[in-house]
């Protein structure tokens, strides 16, 4: 039976910095001990709108980076997020000032699996979906893996690829739909060549559902493992409301509607029924 990440805590997290970077806000929060238990792929759920708000649902954000080891004794750990302001909640969060506090629950969800032996990994991100990939890249690199990264977005301003992040990868490819940066086209268009050139053995991905589905088709063609961070819309983030379900085939072959907030967001892409078009597929357990 799946359950909420046992390491999750609820805290008042203080904003340490908030910088606009292209279309995004890079925000750093002081998070007490939460950083020590965060793994690449985990996310946090944040209350938005202030004390008397009508925005009752928390908003989910992938952890871009968690730092605790290098800090002096007695200091708080730090969690960094990359926020794309668009609706009321994300816009409220992105406008928080230094020293303000937000209510944060985390770390939540599953994390990316790290191979025991060095492998040749291809990391694929779409839009703000690049956020959890840089921490993953650092971890894979520290385990002796070759790490190639490809990031795609509609236009140049929506690519999030900070300099320090680029240092942790062996190669970086950018694609934009309008050709304003890197190769013109979708991120998935670049994959076959990159897989062949770099002899990739595993794909890690994060981004819109359609992108993840296209990547799974390519992973199937090349017979590669594919760990996908499935960012389905979430209302509670802690396994209570069933908003975030996707059909997932279990090891027993049975398809069940599974909660991406606790069974994911990181899932084995080959087990997700990508073409369900948000309907419950026939034969699903309990349907
Ligand atoms: C695991 C995960 C990681 C994410 N990481 C990032 C990230 O790193 N950076 C980033 O910018 N964004 C990220 N997002 C997306 C982010 O959560 C949304 O953009 C954010 O919730 C938007 O809130 P809003 O109020 O600005 O937008 P709005 O569109 O106004 O509100 C969206 C909110 O409505 C609620 N909702 C949506 N669908 C339903 C439904 N069917 N039933 C009930 N309630 C619903 C949810 O609470 C949702 O958060 C992530 C999402 C997930 C699930
Ligand atoms: S978001 Fe509520 S169960 Fe997943």
Q: Which of ligand 2's atoms lies nearest the C-alpha of 233?
A: 1
pLDDT at res. 166 = 77
pLDDT at res. 76 = 78
Compute, in angstroms, the gap from residue 259 CA to the centroid of ligand 1: 15
Mean pLDDT estimate for the chain: 92
- φ/ψ of 274, rounded to 5, equals -70, -30
pLDDT at res. 72 = 61
pLDDT at res. 135 = 93
Residues 6+ apart with CB under 8 A from 26: 17, 18, 19, 20, 64, 80, 81, 82, 83, 162
pLDDT at res. 113 = 96
Start-end ranges of CATH 3.40.50.80 in the chain? 120-231
CB 131 within 8 A of CB 81: yes
> 284: helix, coil or strand?
coil
Compute, in angstroms, the gap from residue 36 CA to the centroid of ligand 1: 25
- The ligand minimizing its distance to the Cα of 44 is 1
- The ligand minimizing its distance to the Cα of 238 is 2
DSSP E strands in 109-201: the ranges are: 120-126, 146-153, 171-176, 183-184
Start-end ranges of CATH 2.40.30.10 in the chain? 9-108
- Residue at token pair 């997290």: 13
For domain 120-231, is the CATH number 3.40.50.80? yes
CB 122 within 8 A of CB 200: yes
CB 27 within 8 A of CB 48: no
Six-digit token string for 186 = 């979708």
Pairing of strands 43-46, 101-108: antiparallel
Ligand 1 atom 2 nearest Cα:
231
pLDDT at res. 279 = 79
The 10 Å Cβ neighbour count of residue 123 is 26
Tell me which residue of 250, 212, 217 sits closest to 232, measured CA to CA.
212
Low-confidence ranges of the chain (pLDDT < 50): none
Compute, in angstroms, the gap from residue 258 CA to the centroid of ligand 2: 10
CATH code for residues 9-108? 2.40.30.10
pLDDT at res. 63 = 97
The model's pLDDT over 163-189, given as tens digits with 9 standing for 90+, comes to 677 788 999 999 999 999 999 999 999
Q: What is the pTM of this model?
A: 0.94
Compute, in angstroms, the gap from residue 245 CA to the centroid of ligand 2: 7
């Amino acid at each position: 039976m799946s359950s909420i990440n046992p390491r999750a805590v609820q805290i008042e997290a203080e904003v340490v910095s908030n910088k606009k970077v292209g279309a995004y806000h890079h925000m750093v929060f002081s998070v007490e001990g939460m950083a020590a238990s965060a793994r690449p792929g985990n996310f946090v759920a944040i209350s938005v709108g202030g004390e008397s708000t009508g925005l009752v649902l928390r908003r989910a954000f992938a952890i871009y980076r968690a730092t605790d080891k290098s800090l002096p004794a007695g200091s708080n750990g730090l969690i960094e997020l990359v926020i794309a302001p668009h609706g009321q909640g994300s816009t409220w969060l992105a406008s928080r000032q230094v020293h303000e506090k937000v209510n944060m629950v985390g770390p939540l969800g599953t994390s990316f699996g790290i191979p025991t032996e060095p492998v040749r990994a291809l990391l694929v991100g779409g839009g703000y979906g690049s956020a959890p990939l840089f921490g993953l890249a650092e971890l894979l690199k520290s385990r002796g893996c070759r790490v190639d990264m490809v990031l795609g977005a509609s236009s140049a301003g929506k690519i999030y690829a900070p300099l320090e992040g680029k240092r942790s990868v062996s190669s970086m490819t950018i694609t934009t739909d309008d050709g304003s940066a890197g190769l013109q086209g979708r991120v998935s268009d670049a994959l076959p060549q990159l897989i062949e050139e770099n002899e990739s053995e595993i794909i890690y991905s994060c981004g819109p559902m359609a992108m993840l589905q296209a990547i799974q088709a390519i992973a199937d063609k090349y017979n590669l493992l594919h760990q996908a961070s499935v960012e389905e819309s979430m209302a509670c983030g802690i396994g209570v409301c069933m908003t975030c379900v996707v059909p997932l085939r279990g090891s027993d072959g049975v398809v069940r509607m599974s909660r991406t907030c606790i069974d994911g967001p990181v899932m084995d892409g080959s087990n997700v029924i990508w073409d369900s078009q948000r309907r419950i597929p026939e034969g699903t357990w309990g349907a």
